[in-house]
Structure 1
Amino acid sequence: MLDPIKTGLASGWKHVDASTLARSQTIEADVIIVGTGAGGGVSADILSDAGLRVVLVEEGPLRSSSDFTMREADAYPQLYQESGARKTADKAINILQGRCVGGSTTVNWTSSFRTPPEVLDFWQRQFGLRQLTVNAMSSWFAVMEHKLWVRAWDTPPNANNKVLASGGEKLGIDIGHIKRNVKGCWNLGYCGMGCPTNAKQSMLLTTIPAALGRGATLYTRLRADRLRFAGSRVTGLDCLALKPDGIFPSGKVVHFRARHFVVAAGAIGSPALLMRSGVPDPHRLLGKRTFLHPVVISSALMPERVDGYAGAPQSMYSDHFLHQAPIDGPLGFKLEAAPLHPVLFSTTLQGYGEAHARLMREFTSASVLLALLRDGFNPQSRGGQVRLGADRLPVLDYPLGDVIWEAARRALLAMAEIQFAAGARWVTPVHEAAPGYTSWAEARKGIALLPLKPLICRVVSAHVMGGCAMADAPPRGVVDHRGRHFWLGNLSVHDGSVFPTSLGVNPQLSIYGLVARNASLLAAELAGRPAPLIP
């Protein structure tokens, strides 16, 4: 199969693997973009299309469909932060986050949702973001949906997703179909390991090739270390070249100078870079209110084979439990299915020794539902905080308080009831003290008594948001509604770190739409063109 990345490189795309640099460098451009995920990719496309000289800086490697073997042992070390084992400071939450060209868009499960209207309304009321109305954002979402082939997924759901659909239907719970950003999908089910057929319309396959085709330069294995600034302007960016292992610095440094700097390193990486740089933060907001969508999991054994590794990972969802209370009341949650691959399944599953082995022997019959808890709206749900560790790399503190655990118990009960309604013969929350249950009556009683606390109840996440929140004024945020830093005029943040709360939905399309808007405004300013009409 044709590999478009290798074809592009052969045609003359500018790609520098910083691990091969023989000496330090100083580079000038119009715009430097740190990060190549959803925010960095969209920014590069729009800014390069305006005729600007763009340089992309990526800490991870450049990998493409020729490298995507559908093997976890290859994918996690190459494509994920900390080989897929990134955790919060107390190890209580495992965080799946991309670390490669395309970022998490290269390895996500393609689920695409617009920012919910009630979230935008909350941002307007609480953070003064009156410009970000449903009507104002709808055209930007539509543009990116068209560009990235976000479409209804008409293929029948795999057996794992059918559990959610059939159980919900029997209980009268509304179930919806998830739109996916795929084109010519083979329905393999290995989206989390990079798409081997180039069907997933990630930044790796769409916006970054477009920018490179216009002359942009891509640096990989290059860690953005520090922004330098004087007065109210950023004057440069210092980056550390990494060794071929992609972890340790080689000793070579790349200095960048530019008219404008775009930080799009994700909701852990972006605040960390700004903190390392010592940028103005008079209200001490940087890195705070970082949100994860804490996820709790329910595993079931079905009477027939499920083979949860085969077919689109996520194609069904339910928002039934998001709307049972006011948005700032008890935490709501979104229900989805999760794909099952041996390493991911075994390292998430509870238990050890023979108990763990017994569950692994049932792998082909296992089905898993997950609940995304919508944090950041209830006054007691304040998320976590990014700080710098001893090595100046980011650490995320994320306390799990009572408001989280109360929602987690409701979510575990809801998922167990759905799984039994779908015909499960055995259900267990992914929890070290849960024995597993053979009936809904037994599960309802058992889950009500489970101790819920860190490291005993498994919590995971693949959605990181906040830490550089946008607002109408500096006392409430780090950037304005355009992603422009309040104190440094030529610095923008273009990623999910600008969200002032979580979303309650998978975040990629929200990032695409917001960044398309803000990058278009920035491109017009830098290129001296009329600004796009913003409702």
Structure 2
Amino acid sequence: MSQLKDPIREGIARGWKVMGGPYASAPERMTCDVAIIGSGAGAGITAELLAKAGLQVVIIEEGPLKSSSDFNQKESEAYPSLYQESAARKTEDKAINILQGRCVGGSTTVNWTSSFRTPASTLKFWQDKFGLAGYNVEALAPYFAQAEQRLNITPWLVPPNENNDLLRRGAAKLGIPASAISRNVKGCWNLGSCGLGCPTNAKQSMLVTTIPAALDLGAQLLVETRAESFELANGKVTALVCSSNRGSGKKTAAGQETRAQAAIKIVAKHYVLAGGAINSPGVLLRSGAPDPHGVLGARTFLHPVVMSSSVFEQKVEAWNGAPQTIYSDHFLETQAIDGPIGYKLEAPPLHPVIFASTVPGFGQGQHDLLKSFPHNHTLLALLRDGFHDESPGGKVKLRSDGSAVLDYPLTPYVMEGGRKALLSMMEIQFAAGAKQVLPLHEMAQPYTSWAQARDAVNALPMKPMLTRVVSAHVMGGCGLAGTERQGVTRPDGVHWQLENLSIHDGSLFPSSIGANPQLSIYGAVNRLAQGLAKTLSGRDVTLA
């Protein structure tokens, strides 16, 4: 793999304007047409379109610039360098572990490539509850199509690996429909290490598509640079204050390296906040942004995930092959949108560190589970939060040091949905031929029959901390709405109270999606960024 081309290093060699971290220091003051905070799904789409429109763009990324030359399929290096809080970000009460990217390309650099358009039922909910009449299937379709073409999002035609095929086979035996997942890849080597950064540049993340396109058009990129706060006056942003996020070389009394605090002020005509849900509300909270109706940071959603682990006679080797290629929406489509919480079923890839840190137990029990790793198969259920009064999501707050944290109460309604999801997944795994199944709950034990597992899970207390809950999808906190009483952001993506600030990331969504959200961000932001480019430059631009 060392013989492969590295488009990032090639771009730097031919003159990309990259500053911060190991590159040249940024000046104390910069001016531009548009400053974009973040470099993930929303930021990348926006950067390419605005640069195409001839605007001077500066992209500010908190994490490092890593590339295929750095991606060596080692968890020990990937998690600390590519993820928020070294892949250990948690909700305020520590009950939910959250995986989010923190590098150029954001979560698109480390996600598992699953791509779904926003479900029609979700869009209908937004229209009915949040006054978003323009957010319908027909209006968004051309913007999704452009994003799919630009990022090579197509159905995965390679036969699924055993990990995913077990979901397909088990569901089929129970008469549950399952389908193939579309993926944003080109020339995929089927290695299975998508979550550690793609070493072959096959994943069409923002790292290898829109960010390079914007840089080729003259955009500037600041890396290892943290957006601290906006300066505000008269209903506008007047400046963005950033700091270097690179280590200072000095140590605290506890032996930790302190962060360099060189201040950078960026003055732009327009600002785009695309730091991702949790971080985007955090910037606005640190800035003292106007919030007359108390909606900033509220209605932040996670798709809380519960999981069921199982052991098969044959080897599964869930780390090999495309990570997610089969799904079932049966338990979404059979639930009324305001009834019991619905859930999407998928089969995640397994790697040793993630596996060992997620499964419950200790001592001999955990030893036995780790020993079964090559034979292990896990299913996950994405719970569709935000559609019911008893599933209001969480709220982003600031810690004493100014960093953002999500308070996300796991309500009895959500946890009862978790119980139903565990039952569904266990039944599928037994139908697929599992020898034993272990729902990821601290009080559960390995079960060897469906009847035994069903009775045990029906008796388990579904409580936070006892039930293992994780998430890789964070949405909301700066929600779109047709009125300022219901949301932070207007339907065109502009902040309701700050006329030169747009929000272009997953924090826009007024509920969860009910599907892996990257394509929803691509489609919605493609539309918003085209409109913004026209407003700022008078030019029509598209991704195609």
Query: TM-score if structure 1 supplies the norm length?
Result: 0.98
Deviations 1:220-265 (A, max 9, x none): 0100001011101111000011224898531211100000000000
User: What residue in structure 2 maps to residue 227 of structure 1?
Assistant: 230
What code does the residue aligned with 1:27 have? Answer: M
- SS in structure 1 of the partner of residue 166 of structure 2: helix
Mapped contact 2:18–2:24 kept (Cα < 8 A):
no
For these two proteins, the number of residue pairs brought into alignment is: 532
Matched, 1:423 2:462: no
User: What residue in structure 2 maps to residue 158 of structure 1?
Assistant: 161
Residue from 46, 49, 63 that aligns with 2:49: 46
Matched, 1:203 2:213: no
Mapped contact 2:19–2:26 kept (Cα < 8 A):
no
1: CA distance, partners of 2:318 / 2:24: 43
Matched, 1:468 2:478: yes
User: What residue in structure 1 maps to residue 147 of structure 2?
Assistant: 144
2: CA distance, partners of 1:378 / 1:487: 28
Residue from 262, 276, 284 that aligns with 2:294: 284
1: CA distance, partners of 2:479 / 2:25: 39
Matched, 1:71 2:74: yes
User: What residue in structure 2 maps to residue 339 of structure 1?
Assistant: 349
Gaps of 5+ in 1: none
- SS in structure 1 of the partner of residue 262 of structure 2: strand
Deviations 1:169-216 (A, max 9, x none): 000000010000000000000000000000000000000000000000
Residue from 371, 376, 390 that aligns with 1:366: 376
Mapped contact 1:56–1:219 kept (Cα < 8 A):
yes
2: CA distance, partners of 1:477 / 1:526: 24
User: What residue in structure 2 maps to residue 449 of structure 1?
Assistant: 459
Residue from 116, 123, 143 that aligns with 1:120: 123
User: What residue in structure 2 maps to residue 106 of structure 1?
Assistant: 109
Per-residue deviation, 1:384: 0.4
Per-residue deviation, 1:19: 6.2
2: CA distance, partners of 1:180 / 1:442: 37
Matched, 1:60 2:60: no
Mapped contact 1:25–1:254 kept (Cα < 8 A):
yes
2: CA distance, partners of 1:431 / 1:347: 13
1: CA distance, partners of 2:327 / 2:23: 45
- SS in structure 2 of the partner of residue 520 of structure 1: helix
Per-residue deviation, 1:530: 5.9
Map 1:203-352; keep pairs closer than 5 Å.
Answer: 203-244=206-247, 248-352=258-362
2: CA distance, partners of 1:325 / 1:45: 39
What code does the residue aligned with 1:283 have? Answer: H
Per-residue deviation, 1:454: 1.0
1: CA distance, partners of 2:26 / 2:143: 42
Matched, 1:406 2:416: yes
User: What residue in structure 1 maps to residue 254 of structure 2?
Assistant: none
Q: 1:8 to 1:344 in 2, by over 3 A?
A: same
Mapped contact 2:232–2:238 kept (Cα < 8 A):
yes
Q: 1:107 to 1:245 in 2, by over 3 A?
A: farther
Residue from 159, 181, 185 that aligns with 2:184: 181
Residue from 438, 447, 458 that aligns with 2:468: 458
What code does the residue aligned with 1:162 have? Answer: D
- SS in structure 2 of the partner of residue 475 of structure 1: coil
Mapped contact 2:42–2:505 kept (Cα < 8 A):
yes
1: CA distance, partners of 2:187 / 2:333: 34
1: CA distance, partners of 2:164 / 2:532: 41
Deviations 1:122-166 (A, max 9, x none): 100000000111100010000000000001101111111111000
- SS in structure 2 of the partner of residue 502 of structure 1: coil
What percentage of residue pairs aligned between the two structures are identical?
55
Gaps of 5+ in 2: 250-256
Q: 1:417 to 1:22 in 2, by over 3 A?
A: closer
Q: 1:23 to 1:345 in 2, by over 3 A?
A: closer
Matched, 1:168 2:171: yes
User: What residue in structure 1 maps to residue 36 of structure 2?
Assistant: 33
Residue from 501, 506, 523 that aligns with 1:513: 523
Query: TM-score if structure 2 supplies the norm length?
Result: 0.96
Mapped contact 2:26–2:222 kept (Cα < 8 A):
no
What code does the residue aligned with 2:71 have? Answer: F
User: What residue in structure 2 maps to residue 132 of structure 1?
Assistant: 135
Deviations 1:242-289 (A, max 9, x none): 224898531211100000000000001000000100111100100000
Per-residue deviation, 1:529: 3.2
Residue from 8, 11, 15 that aligns with 1:12: 15
Q: 1:182 to 1:230 in 2, by over 3 A?
A: same
Mapped contact 1:242–1:248 kept (Cα < 8 A):
no
Query: Which deviates the most, 14-23 or 181-190?
Result: 14-23
Q: 1:430 to 1:478 in 2, by over 3 A?
A: same
What code does the residue aligned with 2:345 have? Answer: L
What code does the residue aligned with 2:219 have? Answer: A
Per-residue deviation, 1:354: 1.6
2: CA distance, partners of 1:382 / 1:240: 34
Mapped contact 2:20–2:26 kept (Cα < 8 A):
no
